[in-house]
Amino acid sequence: MTDDLVLDVRDVKKSYEGLEVLKGIGFGLRRGETKVLVGPSGSGKSTLLRCINHLTPPDEGRIFLSGEEVLEKNIDAMRARIGFVFQDFNLFSHLTVLDNVRICQVKVKGVAADVATERAQQELERVGLGDKASAYPAELSGGQQQRVSIARALAMDPDVLLFDEPTSALDPELTGEVVRVMQKLASDGMTMVVVTHEMSFARQAADELIFMENGYIIEQGPPQQLFSSAANDRTRAFLNVIAEHG
């Protein structure tokens, strides 16, 4: 295994009630890279992310995080190193923004409360919400809530950060503020796998674009290459449709 591979996904398969969702997916992610997964609904993108951190354990295949295999027996420790930003924010409504960001540091990693507080405030500043520490989720816009969830993930010092369509629940104006934070993370060298239909992000921030359909990787390569001269007809057709509606 190459030393700088943070994530190494090998021949992952997953079925639900006899329906094959992933049919042998594999890719590697090096430190500081951003890879963007695109494809039609039902292609297996979100399932793949959930298999990586065993929210949905794969039926077959192997997944390595920084050289260590992700297994059920070590999954709690592994999940602490795999940040996950969901579509629907998943914030605790009864906790302040600051508490939402620091709680996992304290409960999962055993970080001292004062250290966790300082780190939480730093990450809120990083996503442009330093002045919202004492607010509650219900007092924030959807875009702000999603930025809090990103700050929470960052505060755990993850080896890799997974994004599952983080802007799908947001209107265009709020989408922009989240995408800008993600672009900054990519430019700062955060290691990320992103499922998204935001092609502006894919063009500007991705090191590699991976097109999935029917549980397979159909084509992958630099975004400029796939957008301008994809080898596969389905890749070209999909990206053209997305570009027209993006």
Give the model confidence (pLDDT) of 14-59 as tens digits: 999 999 999 999 999 999 999 999 999 999 999 999 999 999 999 9
Where a domain ends, among 135, 157, 179? 157
CA distance 121 to 130: 6
58 in the same domain as 44: yes
Domain contains 180: yes
Helix count and strand count (H, E) for the chain:
9, 10
CA distance 157 to 178: 19
Mean pLDDT of the chain: 95
110 in the same domain as 35: no
pLDDT tens-digit readout, 191-216: 999 999 899 999 999 999 999 999 99
192-195: strand order across its sheet: 82-85, 160-164, 192-195, 34-38, 208-213, 216-221
pLDDT of 2 over the 60 cut: no
Of residues 65, 60, 71, 78, the one with CA closest to residue 12: 60
Quote the Cα angle for 36-40-42, to 5°. 105
Of residues 58, 70, 89, 87, the one with CA closest to residue 195: 87
44 in the same domain as 2: yes
Q: What count of other Cβ atoms lies within 10 Å of the Cβ of residue 68?
A: 13
Domain tally, the chain: 2
67 in the same domain as 171: yes
Please give the pLDDT value at position 241. Answer: 86
Domain contains 86: no
169 in the same domain as 141: no
pLDDT tens-digit readout, 105-143: 999 999 999 999 999 999 999 999 999 999 999 999 999
Domain contains 1: yes
CA distances from 191 to 26, 39, 223, 229, 239 (A): 17, 21, 17, 26, 24
Domain contains 34: yes
In a 10 Å sphere around its CB, with 0-12 CB exposed, 13-18 middle and 19+ buried, how is residue 148 labelled?
buried
Domain containing residue 152: CATH number: 1.20.1580.10
Of residues 1, 158, 157, the one with CA closest to residue 68: 1
Domain containing residue 69: CATH number: 3.40.50.300
Cβ(119)–Cβ(105) below 8 Å: yes
pLDDT tens-digit readout, 143-178: 999 999 999 999 999 999 999 999 999 998 899 999
Domain contains 234: yes
Token representation of residue 78: 């592994």
Domain boundaries, position 139: 91-157
